[in-house]
Amino acid sequence: MVDNNRLGDLLAHLVLILGVAVVVFPVYVAVIASTHPPGTFVRGVMPLLPGPNALENYKTVILEGRSRAGTPPIGGMLWNSFVMAMAITIGKLSISLLSAFAIVYFRFPFRIFFFWVIFLTLMLPVEVRIVPTFQVVADLGMLNSFAGLSIPLIASATATFLFRQFFMTVPEELMEAARVDGAGPMKFFRDILVPLSITNIAALFVIMFIYGWNQYLWPLLITTDPAYYTIVMGIQRMVTGGDSEPLWHLVMATVVLAALPPILVILFMQRLFVKGLTETEK
């Protein structure tokens, strides 16, 4: 066994390296493509080394956008995406924390019924209910607004369910101790339950932020005003818009910039996330 260890290690690393390569390669190509002058990409031979145009390409994307194709400079779109993703994330977290709190800690009529209703909505993602949801949002006059972009995506059965499961592992005596200590329900929620859930919140924050950031179909439907375009749909417009060949070098520069915020969120949240996994409270 000891003799085989070296070979085993080698094999394991080989498999891992292969896996990483498969994942990283497209990202690498995107980064490389964003540094070449126009036309290189369509010639058929994909360059694997950085080109000379990096600075120029990123400058174009950030400052000018592609007005011909109807896409504004990407700064605005990044901001829109960020606002939408944050609104969805914070909204999802607050609503699901509160509803899980209600379901676990309060005895009200039809409690189980409501739990299952929330659970059932898992089967109805935006794509399924998109027509009625669009109608509702349109009737409420929320087209072309951040409210319209985020509110319909806020309800989250997944997060509610995860928080419910977590709350059920919190010892009941903590709630009783808080009651004896004179903390009302909301004080208990704020002072004890939320701080205890912080690692779960961090993990869900990452997941929800990326979910919100990656929204494509919904923003595409309800925004017609370029002022509310998000980055993901902006990329799509850059590819399909205009009569000429897609300007791949600019598209790829946008893609790289669009991928940055989620990566930053993961990097930032990871510390909390890992801390939560290694230091178990109890």
Partner 1 sequence: MASITMENLGKVYAGDVRAVTGVSLDIADGEMIVLVGPSGCGKSTLLRMVAGLETITEGTLRIGDRVVNRLEPAERDIAMVFQNYALYPHMTVYNNLAYGLKNRRMARAEIERRVTAAAEMLQIGAFLDRKPRQLSGGQRQRVAMGRALVREPAAFLFDEPLSNLDAKLRVQMRVEIRQLQKRLATTSLYVTHDQLEALTLADRLVVLNGGRIEQTGTPMEVYARPATTFVAGFIGSPAMNMLPADWLRGVVAADALAHLPAGADLIGLRPEDMSLAPPTNGGLTLEARLMLLEPAGAESHLHVRFDGLDDMFVVRLPHVPAVEEGSRLAFSLAREALHPFDATTGLRL
Interface contacts to partner 1, rule CB under 8 A: 171, 173-174, 176-183, 187, 191-192, 195-196, 198, 281-282
Least gap, CB of 178 to partner 1 (angstroms): 8
Least gap, CB of 280 to partner 1 (angstroms): 8
Q: Is residue 224 a contact partner of residue 143, using CB atoms and an 8 Å limit?
A: yes
Least gap, CB of 111 to partner 1 (angstroms): 14
Q: Please provide residue 71's backbone torsions phi and psi, each rounded to the nearest 5 degrees.
A: -110, 130
Please identify, using beta-carbon distances, which residue of 44 and 171 lies nearer to partner 1.
171
* Sign of CA pseudo-dihedral 48, 51, 55, 57: negative
d(CA 61, CA 74) in angstroms, rounded, equals 6
Please identify, using beta-carbon distances, which residue of 188 and 218 lies nearer to partner 1.
188
Instruction: For the chain, count helices (H), then strands (E).
Output: 14, 0
Least gap, CB of 163 to partner 1 (angstroms): 16
Please identify, using beta-carbon distances, which residue of 58 and 205 lies nearer to partner 1.
205
- Dihedral angle over CA of 100, 273, 23, 240, nearest 10: 50
Please identify, using beta-carbon distances, which residue of 98 and 196 lies nearer to partner 1.
196
Residue type, 152: P
Please identify, using beta-carbon distances, which residue of 118 and 178 lies nearer to partner 1.
178
Least gap, CB of 120 to partner 1 (angstroms): 28
Tokens of 23: 């994942």
